[in-house]
Structure 1
Amino acid sequence: MKAAPLPPPADDGEMAAWKAPAAMLLVQLFNTGMVLLSKVSIGGGMFVFALLTYRSLFGAAIILPIALLRERGKWKEMYWHAAGWIFLNAFMGYAIPMSLFYYGLHDTTASYATIFINLIPLVTFILSLVFRMGMSGSLKIVGAVVSIGGTMIISLYRGKILHLWGSILRPHNEEHVDAASHHHLRGAILLAGSSLMFACWYLIQSKVLKVFPYKYWSSMATCLVGGLQTALAGVIFRRDKNAWKIGWDINLLTIVYSGALATAAKYSLNSWAVSMKGPSYPPMFMPLSLVFTVVLGSIFIGDDITVGSLIGTVLVIVGTYIFLWAKGNERLEK
Structure 2
Amino acid sequence: MGNLSEVLYKIKPYFLMVFLQFGSAGNYIISMVTLNHGMNRYVLIVYRNAIAALVLAPFALLLERKIRPKMTFPVFLQIMALGCLEPILDQGFSYLGMQYTSASYASAIMNAVPSVTFVIAVIFRLERIRIKEIRSLAKVIGTLVTFGGALLMALYKGPLIHLISSSKSSHHENSAHNSDKHWVAGTLLILVGCVSWSAFYILQSVTLKKYPAEISLSSLICLAGTVQSLAVALVVAHHPSAWAVGWDTRLLAPVYTGIIASGITYYVQGLVMKTRGPVFVTAFNPLCMIIVAALGSIILAEKLYLGSIIGGIIIAIGLYSVVWGKSKDYSSQVPTSMTQKELPITAIDGTNKTVISRPSTNSELSSYMCDGNPNCSIIGSSRQCAH
Do they fold alike, i.e. is TM over 0.5?
Answer: yes
TM-superposed deviation, 1:69: 2.6
2:168 matched to which residue of 1?
Answer: 170
Per-residue CA deviations over 1:237-286 (Å, capped at 9, x if unaligned) read 22211111111111111111111111111111111111111122211111
Distance in 1 between the 2:199 and 2:269 partners?
14
Letter in 2 for 1:8: G
Pairwise CA distance, 1:131? 1.4
Structure 1 residue aligned with 2:19: 26
Amino acid at match of 1:227: T
Shift of residue 178 of structure 1? 4.5
Letter in 1 for 2:309: L
CA-CA distance at 1:76 after TM superposition: 6.2
Shift, 1:307, TM fit: 1.1
Distance across 2 between alignment mates of 1:8 and 1:45: 54
Give 1:205-224 correspondences, 5 Å limit.
Answer: 205-224=204-223
In 2: Cα distance, 1:220 partner to 1:263 partner: 9
CA separation in 2, counterparts of 1:172 and 1:66? 46
Unaligned runs of 5+ in 1: 1-6
Following superposition, the deviation at residue 132 of structure 1 comes to 1.4
| 1:130 aligned residue (79, 102, 123) | 123
Q: Give the deviation of 1:130 after TM superposition.
A: 1.4
**Mapped pair 1:8 → 2:7:** no
How big is the alpha-carbon RMSD for the aligned residues of Structure 1 and Structure 2? 1.9
Q: Secondary structure at the match of 2:283?
A: helix
C-alpha contact (below 8 Å) 2:68/2:211 kept by paired residues: no
Go from structure 1 to structure 2 and tell me whether the alpha carbon gap of 1:165 and 1:197 turns closer, same or farther (over 3 Å shift): same
Q: Are 1:108 and 1:179, in contact at CA under 8 Å, matched by a contact in 2?
A: no
Q: Identify the residue that residue 149 of structure 2 maps to in structure 1.
A: 150
Q: How far, CA to CA, are the matches of 1:204 and 1:83 in structure 2?
A: 13
Cα pair 1:109 1:179 within 8 Å, conserved:
no
Distance, in Å, in 2 between the alignment partners of 1:298 and 1:15 is 35
Contact 2:16 2:268 in 1 (8 A): yes
- The offset of 1:11, in angstroms, is 5.6
1:184 corresponds to: 183
Larger RCO: Structure 1 or Structure 2 (Cα < 8 Å, ≥ 6 residues apart)?
1
Question: Which runs of 4 or more aligned residues in structure 1 lie more than 4 Å from their structure 2 counterparts after TM superposition?
Answer: 9-12, 73-76
What's 1:116 paired with? 109
1:149-169 CA distances to partner (integer Å, 9 max, x unpaired)? 1111111111111112234x8
Structure 1 segment 253-272 matched on structure 2, within 5 A = 253-272=252-271
Cα distance in structure 1, aligned partners of 2:72 and 2:332: 38
Q: Which amino acid aligns with 1:221?
A: L
Shift of 1:187: 1.3
Whether 1:67 and 2:66 are equivalent positions in the alignment is no
Structure 2 residue 74 is the aligned partner of structure 1 residue 81? yes
Taking a change above 3 Å as real, the CA distance of residues 258 and 176 of structure 1, as seen in their structure-2 partners, is farther
Verify the 8 A CA contact 2:172 2:302 in the aligned structure 1.
Answer: no
SS in 2 for 1:253: helix
Amino acid at match of 1:171: S
**Matched position secondary structure for 1:213:** coil
Shift of 1:86: 0.9
Note closer, same or farther for the CA distance 1:71–1:9 as it changes in structure 2 (3 Å cut). farther
How far, CA to CA, are the matches of 1:76 and 1:320 in structure 2? 36
- How much does 1:174 deviate? 4.3
Q: Which residue of 2 aligns with 1:298?
A: 297
**1:119 aligned counterpart, secondary structure:** helix
SS of equivalent to 1:77:
coil
Query: Does the 8 A contact of 2:276 with 2:330 survive in 1?
Result: no
Q: Hey, what does 1:232 align to over in structure 2?
A: 231
* One-letter amino acid of the counterpart of residue 327, structure 1: K
Partner Cα distance (2:176, 2:307) in 1: 21
Q: Are residue 107 (structure 1) and residue 100 (structure 2) matched?
A: yes
Matched to 2:46, the amino acid is T
Q: Deviations over 1:1-27 (max 9, x none)?
A: xxxxxx437566x44421111111111
| CA distance in 2: counterparts of 1:52 and 1:135, whole angstroms | 35
Distance apart, 1:312 and its partner CA: 0.7
C-alpha displacement at 1:176, in angstroms? 4.6
Contact residue 101 and residue 191 of structure 1 kept, 8 A: yes
The residue matched to 1:183 in structure 2 has which SS? helix
Determine the C-alpha separation between the residues in 2 that align with 1:244 and 1:155.
34
Say which is worse superposed, 217-226 or 143-152, in terms of deviation: 143-152
- After TM superposition, the score normalised by the length of structure 2 is 0.80
Partners of 1:172 and 1:290 in 2: how far apart?
24
Structure with more of its chain in strand, by fraction: 2
Q: 1:23 to 1:238 in 2, by over 3 A?
A: same
Cα separation, partners in 2 of 1:304 and 1:216, compared to 1, 3 Å: same
Q: Which has the larger radius of gyration?
A: 2
In the alignment, structure 1 residue 92 sits paired with structure 2 residue 90: no
How far 1:64 sits from its partner (Å)? Answer: 1.5
Letter in 1 for 2:105: Y
Counting matched residue pairs gives 326
Partner of 1:3 in structure 2? none
Structure 1: how far apart are the matches of 2:268 and 2:168?
A: 32
TM-score, normalising length from structure 1? 0.92
Distance (whole Å) between structure 2 residues aligned to residue 20 and residue 176 of structure 1: 42
1:4 alignment counterpart: none
For residues 205 and 32 of structure 2, the distance between their equivalents in structure 1, rounded to whole angstroms, comes to: 30
2:345 alignment counterpart: none
Task: Write the letter of the residue equivalent to 2:33.
Answer: V
